[in-house]
A and B are shown apart, each in its own frame.
Chain A
């Protein structure tokens, strides 16, 4: 199964997004978070992101959802430090954090492949609020 990593500047956003996503999952997938700095402030903790990526099961892939600037930058940086085989199985989604995590949790827990999960959550319609 594809697993999910949520990276946010805010621990509360990361934790709350995980909670929403967990509620929708149809089977046991691993949803992990890296939220805020090591000191509990707003920001990103590159070491924590690295630790999560190293320890999560990436056999079927990991979809990463990130919020702003340094979350994306820190992720891209630590990803480059992983073995190449693992790098290929980790993809940052061009998707909004909350919607991407919720739909991603559904798709991943239905046994979809990494590319299928990404295709689903990267659809532009994911952000529609008036005509959904």
Chain B
């Protein structure tokens, strides 16, 4: 299980690194223009470490990911994603993940990000991708949907959440300094969160 999770993290790192310039361009429009560069630096380091080490558990893998991002990203996304992954490392199951497990994981991630960033939904941040994705998982559980359908719906909700940030005015983070001028641009944090969720889901669908 840990081996499969490791491959998933390497893929995620590749996707983030591939999208480095895109994320940085989004950030240049409304922030300090370093989101892609920062995340790519963190994920490049992560790839190096993943390739050099083997892992006994998913928990260990998530913890290493957290600490590597915290130490190497250099921007707010370091402590934000870092705390999310650190929280996940404390609860993640070592068995096949169920819909309940995924809901727990998403709630831990949200709690970690909110603890650091103090943001709510609708503030034009990574949470505007992650919260709708988590809500979608809960809706799927309420409607007794199977895991594959739940994952497909979750991906759709994450994409819509990300796109909805275009019309939002930023009230947290560097983009909030731009006030109304932040409207009309897709949030880079919401975009990197979507890329991660997309990679996780597309590689978990059966």
Residues of chain A having any CB pair with chain B under 8 Å: 37-39, 41-47, 68-70, 73-74, 76-77
Contacts and interface: CB of A to CB of B under 8 A. Distances in A.
Given A77-B82, A77-B83, A70 B70 contact: no
B174 A43 contact: no
B132 interface: no
Interface string B8-49: 000000000000000000000000101000100100000000
A43 B82 contact: no
Contact of A77 (B41, B70, B73): B70
A67 to B, nearest CB: 11
Given A41-B74, A43-B75, A73-B76, 15 more contacts: A38-B72, A39-B41, A42-B34, A43-B74, A44-B74, A46-B70, A46-B71, A46-B78, A46-B79, A70-B74, A70-B75, A70-B78, A70-B79, A77-B70, A77-B83
A41 B73 CA distance: 11
Nearest to A43: B74
B173 A69 contact: yes
Nearest to B173: A69
B197 interface: no
A69 B83 CA distance: 15
B151 interface: no
Nearest to B82: A77
Contacts of A70: 74-76, 78-79
A45 B116 CA distance: 16
Contacts of A46: 70-71, 78-79
B80 interface: yes
Contacts of B116: 73, 76-77
B79 A43 contact: no
A47 B71 contact: yes
A69 B174 contact: yes
A47 to B, nearest CB: 5
A47 B70 CA distance: 8
15 contacts: A38-B72, A39-B74, A41-B34, A43-B38, A44-B74, A45-B74, A69-B76, A69-B174, A70-B75, A70-B76, A73-B76, A73-B116, A76-B79, A77-B83, A77-B116
Interface string B173-201: 11000000000000000000000000000
B76 to A, nearest CB: 4
Contacts of B38: 43
Nearest to B31: A69
Contacts of B117: 73
Contacts of A73: 76, 79-80, 116-117
B200 to A, nearest CB: 24
A43 B71 CA distance: 12
Contact of A68 (B41, B78, B79, B174): B174
